[in-house]
């Protein structure tokens, strides 16, 4: 059950999108998110959606996998849709007691929902096609100019790498502890809210103990290999921009221009 969470999951592959530099993908994703808010009409959304589907097709990540991420936030999307639907003034389309749907409200609700869906798919395409380690490496490189003004970019990236690296480990550990306590007759599915919260103690205490043990082992292992962060540190897989990143950059600029132009249709 706990394995079903797909937060920041990576879908192994060797497509053009997979091979792009992580920095390119981070910038492209940021730009895409901004563009989604630049868009103000139907044509713009059509173009942004089409571009996204082209990227998905090129990345060869199965659609089923991408839409699975949406189910988790379905409630939020539905809530936003309903809220926008009834809250905007304008030309009345439908009226019943205190509920009113206007033409403007319908449009805004629709745009908001589409925007949310595209935001989620757009950002999950990045995490699905980029290994977590590459992602944090890219982020470190992108943040490194700010280290001059005291931003510990290497440390931030390292913390993120470790956090991402240990999500599956801790999930496995949690799964194991839950099962072990279930084998001792623990019941996590019934009882009042207070009782259920109390029932979590047999999971949380061992989980904390394990996390501390893992953290200590990791720190020792890093020290034993003479780890010291930041400046002068070399890496095994140096990331660099190449031709496809240049192509991607050109495509991004073109796309941005089209989106801005779409505002004036």
Partner 1 sequence: MSISVRNLNYIYNPGMPGETVALSDVSFDVADHTVLGIIGHTGSGKSTLLQHLNGLIKPTSGDVYVDGECITDGKTKMTEIRRKVGLVFQYPEYQLFEETVKKDVAFGPKNLGLNEEEQEARVRKAIGLVGLDYEEIKDLSPFELSGGMKRRVAIAGVIAMDPKILILDEPTAGLDPSAHRDILAMVRRIHEEMGIILIFVSHNMADIAELSDRVMVMSGGKVVLEGTPAEVFSQGDWLSEMGLGVPPAKEIVDLIKKREPEFISEALSTDEAARDIRHYLGESDG
Residues that bind partner 1 (CB under 8 A): 3, 11-12, 176-177, 179-187, 201-202, 205-206, 209-210
Phi and psi at residue 89, to the nearest 5°: -80, 160
Q: Which is nearer to partner 1, 149 or 183 (CB)?
A: 183
Q: How far is the CB of 255 from partner 1 (least distance, A)?
A: 30
Q: CA-based angle 131:135:138, to the nearest 5?
A: 135
Q: Which is nearer to partner 1, 17 or 259 (CB)?
A: 17
Helix (H) or strand (E) holding 101: strand 99-102
Q: Which residue has the tokens 């589409």?
A: 114
Which is nearest to 125 in space by CA: 61, 204, 32? 61
Q: How far is the CB of 210 from partner 1 (least distance, A)?
A: 6
Query: Residue 95: beta bridge partners?
Result: 100
Q: How many helices (H) and strands (E) does the chain have?
A: 10, 2
Q: Which is nearer to partner 1, 12 or 232 (CB)?
A: 12
Q: How far is the CB of 213 from partner 1 (least distance, A)?
A: 8
Dist CA 147 CA 233 (whole Å):
15
Q: How far is the CB of 212 from partner 1 (least distance, A)?
A: 11
Quote the distance between the C-alpha of residue 153 and its chain's center: 20
Q: Which is nearer to partner 1, 3 or 97 (CB)?
A: 3
Q: How far is the CB of 61 from partner 1 (least distance, A)?
A: 10
Q: Which is nearer to partner 1, 24 or 130 (CB)?
A: 130
């Amino acid at each position: 059950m706990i394995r079903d969470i797909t937060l920041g999951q990576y879908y192994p592959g060797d497509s053009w999108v997979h091979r792009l530099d992580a920095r390119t993908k981070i910038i492209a994703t940021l730009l895409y998110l901004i563009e989604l808010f630049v868009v103000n009409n139907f044509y713009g959304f059509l173009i942004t959606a089409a571009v996204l589907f082209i990227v998905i097709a090129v990345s060869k990540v199965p659609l089923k996998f991408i839409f699975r991420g949406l189910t988790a936030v379905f409630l939020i999307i539905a809530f936003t849709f309903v809220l926008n639907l009834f809250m905007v003034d304008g030309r009345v389309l439908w009226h019943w007691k205190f509920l009113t749907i206007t033409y403007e409200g319908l449009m805004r609700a629709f745009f908001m929902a589409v925007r949310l869906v595209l935001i989620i798919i757009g950002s999950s395409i990045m995490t699905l096609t980029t290994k977590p380690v590459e992602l944090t490496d890219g982020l470190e490189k992108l943040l490194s100019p700010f280290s001059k003004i005291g931003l510990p970019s290497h440390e931030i990236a390292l913390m993120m790498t470790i956090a991402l690296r240990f999500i599956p480990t801790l999930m496995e550990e949690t799964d194991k502890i839950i099962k072990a306590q279930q084998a001792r007759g623990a019941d996590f599915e019934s009882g009042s809210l207070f009782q259920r919260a109390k029932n979590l103690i047999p999971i949380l205490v061992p989980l904390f103990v394990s996390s501390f043990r893992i953290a200590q082992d990791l720190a020792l292992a890093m020290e034993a290999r003479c780890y010291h962060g930041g400046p002068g540190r070399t890496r095994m897989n140096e990331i660099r921009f190449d031709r496809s990143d240049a192509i991607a950059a050109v495509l991004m600029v073109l796309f941005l221009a089209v989106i801005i132009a779409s505002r004036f249709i």
